[in-house]
């Protein structure tokens, strides 16, 4: 039986990873809820958010601003806005026009759009092929609790992630736009009859989802210390898997799914021999099992179609 | 009939000239000729309709003419082993593309793990020949069945679920496959499997230069003909399959599962059949690739290649047998020809696919409406 400290440490790591995955998964689930589409380029939007944040931080440093208290919020906001706008553009160009045709078309179109985003960063960002170091702006140092090392950085990541998720929850459940999103997710036609502007609601959903992905991207940059243009592929697949586990269309399901996936990865890495190489395999294998036996997810998918 | 052959010959000359032209003057002349030909076809309607009628009436002659030209291609390209290699690669993509097209286009089973199944074929050949000493032709014959077996085992439970879950599972499978091949020792790790012996037909090794009717051809020509035979056979088999009742059932189940069920089409059985047959041909392409190139490694079969296989089908035409051939023949040589665009290759692929899906979702050579005589 592995020592308790190791277990707790890995749980902490798992929760942190899970937080980031959950933020991406919420985007997937929102898009599925609103338009009934899987937006496969969302993973690359996550990558774009990380790069946007990096660019913002570098730009601020170049101008002379270095105090984390100031630069962090600014960079986050900049990244969220830019990524949100890119997300809306992606939706306008290739999700909305294809929403009525066969799902295969949207899948392929968004997959290709993801490819375009990825290659654009590779080609147009200076030396795009190299992993880029992310400035370590979060407070360093930490403390120990019962053998488990807790770093301030980890707490900061947890805090920011949690704040983002709470914000999403508040937006969805307390604001008028949130109500519009929920209405469109339930029944687009009825929502329109109630005076909901479908186009604007869809735009808002994509902005929100992409902004969340930007937060996740920056958190990932802080956690790993570097970002790479291919992080969107795995990020997207993991986010989608997490959303699927939790139940597509259900925002809380996405959060649960993300946390579950993060915990799966860290426990696999810690407790299976040669686990760190195979942790993705284990996690995906579990996802596949989930999809076989309970495809509607933990908290239930938004609609069930049976023949 | 003569018209058909003339048209095919003209196209052939243009293509070979386009491939081989080196000097700026010849290049400009060929480009001009292609543009003029294209403009004539587009604008001069009587020409287009006469050609269309001629090709429709003399199908066998057209096919024979095309086959003859394909057989002659290596002779014209004999000065460039590189282009023979590219042509062979295009033919391999035709094979895998037809298999993938059966799954995605005809049956609507979204398989984004094309690279993984090709990898299964390739790695099986590698393991069977290098680790257990089987002769290459036997390994290449058995390897596609490995792909089929793995596909069936892993996906029988999933095939009942909705489309996007299947897509997710296949993506996960590509990643799992890549990680496993990279990390397991018996598959050679990141180095892969080297020194796969080449095919031998009656004592003639496929890496030796080939002499055909007095013409000396580069070594790759051997594989070109093998790939041509395979691609031709695959296209013929899958073409017949597409036109059969099985193809009709698959199309029905792609378009509307509930209606298909009401007509007595068994969803899981038909999807499984399409998936397995498709995987066979995808694995076959991978196996031939392994024999041709002589080694396999994990980066040869990653997600990017799945996307390339996908773009072949989309650009050519979903569910279109001819479209797959066109897609492969366009998508493989063109980036090689326009080497200066090599860096932007994937970006352009992505853009072209998005544009095609928005404006020509049925591809460059759309599948025709089924006709029953």
Q: Using the beta-carbon criterion (under 8 Å), do A295 and B311 form an inter-chain contact?
A: no
Structural domains in chain A plus CATH codes:
4-293 (1.10.3470)
Q: Write the residue in A233, A274, A284 that is nearest to B176 by C-beta.
A: A284
User: Are the Cβ atoms of A38 and B350 closer than 8 angstroms?
Assistant: no
CB contact under 8 A, B168 and A274: no
Alpha helices in chain A (DSSP H): 4-35, 42-63, 68-90, 103-124, 152-174, 176-186, 188-193, 198-224, 231-246, 251-271, 275-293
The shortest CB-CB distance from A241 to any of B172, B182, B357 is to: B172
B173: chain A residues, CB-CB within 8 Å: 284, 288
**What SS3 class is residue A151?**
strand
Q: How far apart are CA A56 and CA A167, in angstroms?
A: 23
Please state the rounded mean pLDDT for residues B285-311.
87
The number of residues making up chain A comes to 307
Which value, to the nearest 10 degrees, does the dihedral of the CA atoms of residues A113, A115, A120, A125 take?
130
Mean pLDDT of B170-191: 83
Which CATH number is B81-359 given? 1.10.3470
Smallest Cα distance from B351 to chain A, Å:
6
A108 closest CB neighbour out of B154, B162, B357 = B357
Report the C-alpha gap between B140 and B144 in whole angstroms. Answer: 7
- Put simply, the answer to whether A307 touches B258 (Cβ < 8 Å) is yes
Taking residues B83-91, what's their average pLDDT?
Answer: 89
Alpha carbon distance, N-terminus to C-terminus of chain A: 46
Interface predicted TM-score (ipTM) of this complex, two decimals: 0.81
Inspect the interface and report whether the beta carbons of A104 and B261 lie closer than 8 Å: no
- Inter-chain contact A237–B307, Cβ cutoff 8 Å? no
CB nearest A104 (choices: B163, B258, B350): B163
Q: Mean pLDDT across the stretch A263-276?
A: 78
Q: Which of B104, B158, B162 sits opposite A292 (nearest CB)?
A: B158
Q: How many CB atoms lie within 10 A of CB B226?
A: 21
Domains of chain B, by residue range, sit at 1-76, 81-359
pLDDT, one tens digit per residue, over B201-260 is 666 666 767 676 667 777 778 888 889 999 999 999 999 999 888 999 999 988 888 898
The whole-angstrom separation of Cα B263 and Cα B179 is: 42
Residue of A nearest to B182 (CA): A277
Separation of CA B341 from chain center: 22
Q: What is the pLDDT of residue A265?
A: 85
Q: Indicate the pLDDT class of residue A304, thresholds 50, 70 and 90.
A: very low
What are the residues of chain A with a beta carbon less than 8 Å away from any beta carbon of chain B? 38, 93-94, 97-98, 101-105, 107-109, 111-116, 118-120, 123, 233-234, 237, 240-241, 244, 274, 277-278, 280-281, 284-285, 287-288, 291-293, 295, 305, 307
Q: Does A244 contact B257 at a Cβ distance shorter than 8 Å?
A: no
> Quick check: A248 and A29 in contact, CB under 8 A?
yes
Q: How many CB pairs under 8 A join A and B?
A: 120
Higher pLDDT, B97 or A105: B97
- The answer to whether B295 and B196 have CB atoms below 8 angstroms apart is yes
């Amino acid at each position: 039986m592995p020592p308790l400290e190791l277990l707790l440490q890995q749980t902490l790591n798992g929760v942190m990873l899970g937080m980031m995955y959950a933020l991406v998964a919420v985007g997937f689930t929102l898009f599925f809820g609103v338009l009934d589409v899987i937006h496969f380029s969302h993973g690359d939007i996550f990558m774009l958010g990380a790069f946007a944040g990096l660019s913002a931080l570098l730009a601020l440093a170049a101008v002379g601003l270095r105090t984390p208290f100031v630069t962090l919020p600014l960079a986050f906001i900049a990244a969220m806005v830019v990524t949100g706008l890119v997300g809306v553009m992606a939706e306008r160009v290739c999700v909305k026009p294809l929403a009525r045709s066969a799902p295969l078309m949207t899948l392929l179109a968004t997959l290709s759009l993801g490819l375009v985003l990825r290659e654009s960063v590779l080609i147009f960002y200076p030396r795009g092929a190299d992993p880029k170091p992310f400035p370590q702006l979060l407070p360093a140092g930490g403390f120990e609790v019962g053998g488990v090392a807790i770093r301030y950085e980890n707490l900061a990541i947890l805090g920011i992630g949690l704040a983002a998720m709470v914000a999403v929850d508040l937006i969805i459940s307390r604001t008028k736009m949130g109500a519009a999103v929920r209405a469109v997710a339930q029944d687009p036609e009825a929502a329109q009859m109630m005076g909901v502007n479908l186009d604007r609601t869809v735009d808002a959903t994509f902005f929100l989802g992409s902004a969340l992905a930007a937060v996740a991207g920056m958190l990932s940059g802080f956690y790993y210390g570097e970002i790479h243009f291919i992080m969107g592929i795995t990020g997207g697949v993991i986010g989608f898997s997490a959303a699927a586990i939790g139940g597509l269309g259900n925002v809380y399901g996405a959060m649960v799914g993300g946390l579950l996936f993060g915990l799966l990865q860290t426990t696999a890495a810690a407790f299976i021999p040669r686990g760190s190489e195979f942790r993705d395999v284990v996690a995906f294998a579990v996802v596949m099992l989930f999809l076989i036996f309970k495809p509607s997810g933990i908290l239930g998918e938004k609609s069930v179609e049976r023949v | 009939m003569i018209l058909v052959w003339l048209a095919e010959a003209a196209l052939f000359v243009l293509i070979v000239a386009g491939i081989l032209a080196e000097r700026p003057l010849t290049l400009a002349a060929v480009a001009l000729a292609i543009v003029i030909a294209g403009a004539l076809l587009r604008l001069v309607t009587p020409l287009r309709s006469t050609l269309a009628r001629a090709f429709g009436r003399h199908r066998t002659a057209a096919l024979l003419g095309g086959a003859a030209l394909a057989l002659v291609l290596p002779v014209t390209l004999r000065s460039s082993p590189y282009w023979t290699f590219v042509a062979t690669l295009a033919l391999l993509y035709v094979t895998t593309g037809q298999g993938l097209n059966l799954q995605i286009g005809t049956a609507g089973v979204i398989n984004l793990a094309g690279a993984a199944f090709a990898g299964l074929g390739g790695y099986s050949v590698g393991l069977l020949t290098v680790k257990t000493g089987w002769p290459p032709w036997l390994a290449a014959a058995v390897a596609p069945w490995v792909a089929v077996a793995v596909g069936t085992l892993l996906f029988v439970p999933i095939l009942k679920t909705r489309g996007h879950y299947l897509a997710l599972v296949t993506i996960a499978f590509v990643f799992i496959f890549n990680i496993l091949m990279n990390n397991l020792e018996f598959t050679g790790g990141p180095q892969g499997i080297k020194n796969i012996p080449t095919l031998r037909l009656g004592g003639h090794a496929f890496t030796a230069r080939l002499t055909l009717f007095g013409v000396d051809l580069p070594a790759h020509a051997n594989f070109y003909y093998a790939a041509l035979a395979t691609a031709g056979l695959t296209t013929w088999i899958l073409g017949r399959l597409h036109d059969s009742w099985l193809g009709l059932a698959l199309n029905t189940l792609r378009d509307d599962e509930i209606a298909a069920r009401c007509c007595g089409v068994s969803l899981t059985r038909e999807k499984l059949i399409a998936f397995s047959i498709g995987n066979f041909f995808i694995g076959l392409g991978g196996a031939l690739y392994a024999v041709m190139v002589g080694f396999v490694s994990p980066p040869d079969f990653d997600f990017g290649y799945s996307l390339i296989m996908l773009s072949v089908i989309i650009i050519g035409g979903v569910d279109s047998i001819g479209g797959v051939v066109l897609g492969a023949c366009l998508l493989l040589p063109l980036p090689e020809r326009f080497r200066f665009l090599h860096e932007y290759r994937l970006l352009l692929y992505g853009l072209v696919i998005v544009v095609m899906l928005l404006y020509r979702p049925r591809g460059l050579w759309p599948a025709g409406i089924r006709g029953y005589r």
